[in-house]
Amino acid sequence: MMEKITDENNVLQMMEDLQENNLARQVEEGKGPRRFFIQTFGCQQNENDSEKLAGILLAAGFTQALDYSDADIILINSCSIRENADDRLFGHLGILKKQYEDSGRQLVVGVCGCMVTRPQLVEKIKRSYRHVKILLTPQQIHELPAKLHRVFIERKSALETSMEERIVEDIPQARERKFRALVSIMYGCNHFCTYCVVPFARGRQRSRRAGEIIREVQGLAAEGFSEIMLLGQNVNAWGLDSGHKALKFARSRGEAELLKVAKAELSPETFPELLAALAQIPGIKCIRYMSPHPRDFTAQMVSCLKLFPEVESRLHLPLQSGSDKILKDMNRGYDLESFRQLVNACREVRPELALTTDIIVGFPSETESDFEATLAAVEEFKFQSAYTFIFSPRPGTRAAKMPELPADVTQARFKRLLELQNALTYDSYKALLGSTREVLVEGPSKQQPGVYTARDHAFHLFNLSLPPNRDWEGERLMIKVSEARPFSAEAELSRVLSA
Ligand code: SAH
Ligand code: SF4
Ligand code: F3S
């Protein structure tokens, strides 16, 4: 039997139905609202998807559980980017199966996210994990109300998956953080890097309309958020969904158009123009974005860094490898020299820029000299920090068909890269010693009680002790950097900027 599918026009309608049905109470009358727990793996887009799943559940009358054991409905929002993610999902499902059998309760388990887009995994879940009652691809988030209805009211499983690509607005979002709001501005990716599963899991690139994004950010500013993080797998290709022609058009636009957007004489059509428009929203002090791709980084984006101080002073620009041969084998669409020119241009207009990156070690065709080119590039660019990954073959990708390098070779290279990068990160914190900086408090440190973590515009991480007289999360402070640590710096409070 077909499940009821929600389309973009009736998410809100469906939410109202759920509330009318008082879904959260229906099954166990008198026991209070049912509780949900969401476990999220993967990238920040997945985190934002989980905020939407939580938003829907809250709107339907459920309440948030503190952990697995306290929950009546558990959603696992999965990631598929590397192999160990698969193992982790099945490990979790095994534990939940036992919990389900032992508790005698009507525990509902759902699996969402990128792994649900892989037919073999879906089959395995259906075959071996019968306690899973809901399956939801990232393209189906808006179908959660319909699936809840099916499970809790019709008492049936909701396991149909679909990869239909569309953009659904107005899904409620339960924001996880008070200090920084995640805003997905585009979905999917068109690039097909040869190692990467994302275009298969998330589909082709599709951008939200500028007006919808601006409306969302205005709402966030009104709620008191001063910092936002724009998300997309290839975030700076926003607006260029239809390929080469669009890209050519984007490259032809420059500073003049940016200034027109800033004066509201033109509506944004490229990513830097979107940044220009968002920078004008009163209350928005810092706009972060993740991840831009070097191949779509235009001269207009460099102008944007020059003109709009609200655009963050961190540039996360994934290099992946320092060897032109490997970049070609990865289908990255740039070479080391063009990456260098980009970095130089950005540093010229924003000297305080902190450059961060992603690097993959052990791509199948990587030779010792290719790897050394990566080390040389890391040394040259002095990345403030880097996410370093060991190549993991992903089913369906071109690189998965290539013979893998021996694990000991990859491990040894990975260790060398990590040592070099760790030293650079430590140096970057030493360079801040004695400086005074504006930061936003993120929250209490997980390791040290009484200590808070905070970040500056360039995303450097600081630890500082603050008086216990208030909730500091989301406050802006001036701090003085007192001591460098390998991955952060200690700081002292100079002044509170926001009340
Ligand atoms: N869209 C972003 C990256 C998204 S995935 C971009 O193109 O920059 C985040 C990072 O995971 C990638 O930058 C890459 O370094 C790493 N990654 C992706 N697939 C991988 C794989 N199969 N093995 C190892 N690392 C991988
Ligand atoms: Fe994956 Fe490449 Fe797309 Fe990034 S740009 S998501 S690495 S295919
Ligand atoms: Fe993982 Fe999917 Fe994000 S594979 S990294 S959750 S896009």
User: In the structure, which protein residues have their CB atom closer than 6 angstroms to any atom of ligand 3?
Assistant: 42-43, 45-46, 79-81, 113-114, 197-198, 201-202
pLDDT of amino acid 3 = 34
Decide if 279 contacts 287 (C-beta within 8 A): yes
Ligand closest to 190 (CA) is 2
Among residues 235, 232, 274, 231, which one has the least CA distance to residue 253?
274
Question: pLDDT tens across 351-405, in order?
Answer: 999 999 999 999 999 999 999 999 999 999 999 999 999 999 999 999 999 999 9
Ligand closest to 396 (CA) is 1
What 3 state SS string does 202-238 have? HCCCEECCHHHHHHHHHHHHHHCCCEEEEECCCHHHC
Q: Does the CB atom of residue 200 touch ligand 1 within 6 A?
A: no
What are φ and ψ of residue 451, in 5° steps? -105, 140
Identify the band that residue 154 occupies on the pLDDT scale cut at 50, 70 and 90.
Answer: confident
CA distances from 330 to 194, 319, 390 (A): 5, 11, 14
Ligand closest to 194 (CA) is 2
Angle between helices 299-307 and 271-279 (to 10 degrees): 10
- The rounded radius of gyration (Å) of the Cα atoms in the chain is 23
Identify the band that residue 323 occupies on the pLDDT scale cut at 50, 70 and 90.
Answer: very high
pLDDT of amino acid 29 = 53
Structure tokens at 269: 């059509």
Residues of the chain above pLDDT 90, percent: 76
Residues of the chain above pLDDT 70, percent: 93
**Whole-number mean pLDDT of the chain?**
91
Q: What beta strand segments (E) does 332-450 contain?
A: 354-361, 385-390, 436-444
Q: How far is the CA of 22 from the centre of ligand 3 (A)?
A: 33
Q: Is the pLDDT of residue 27 over 60?
A: no
pLDDT of amino acid 7 = 45
Q: How far is the CA of 195 from the centre of ligand 2 (A)?
A: 8
What is the arithmetic mean of pLDDT over 242-269?
Answer: 90
Residue with the larger pLDDT of the pair 67 and 365: 365
CA atoms within 13 A on the CB side of 250: 25
What is the arithmetic mean of pLDDT over 413-432?
Answer: 98
Identify the band that residue 96 occupies on the pLDDT scale cut at 50, 70 and 90.
Answer: confident
Pocket perturbation via mutation, ligand 1, pick of 190, 389, 398, 402 by most ligand atoms within 8 A of CB: 389
Q: Does the CB atom of residue 233 touch ligand 1 within 6 A?
A: yes
Separation of CA 275 from chain center: 18
Q: Is the pLDDT of residue 272 over 90?
A: yes
pLDDT of amino acid 2 = 32
What is the arithmetic mean of pLDDT over 131-148?
Answer: 94
Pocket perturbation via mutation, ligand 1, pick of 358, 378, 391 by most ligand atoms within 8 A of CB: 358
Ligand closest to 330 (CA) is 2
Q: How far is the CA of 257 from the centre of ligand 2 (A)?
A: 28
Q: How far is the CA of 128 from the centre of ligand 1 (A)?
A: 30
Question: pLDDT tens across 427-444, in order?
Answer: 999 999 999 999 999 999
* Range from 154-158, 166-170, 308-312 that averages highest in pLDDT: 308-312
Structure tokens at 371: 């790897």
Q: Is the pLDDT of residue 1 over 50?
A: no
Q: Does the CB atom of residue 358 touch ligand 1 within 6 A?
A: yes
Q: What pTM did the predictor assign? A: 0.94
Question: pLDDT tens across 335-351, in order?
Answer: 999 999 999 999 999 99
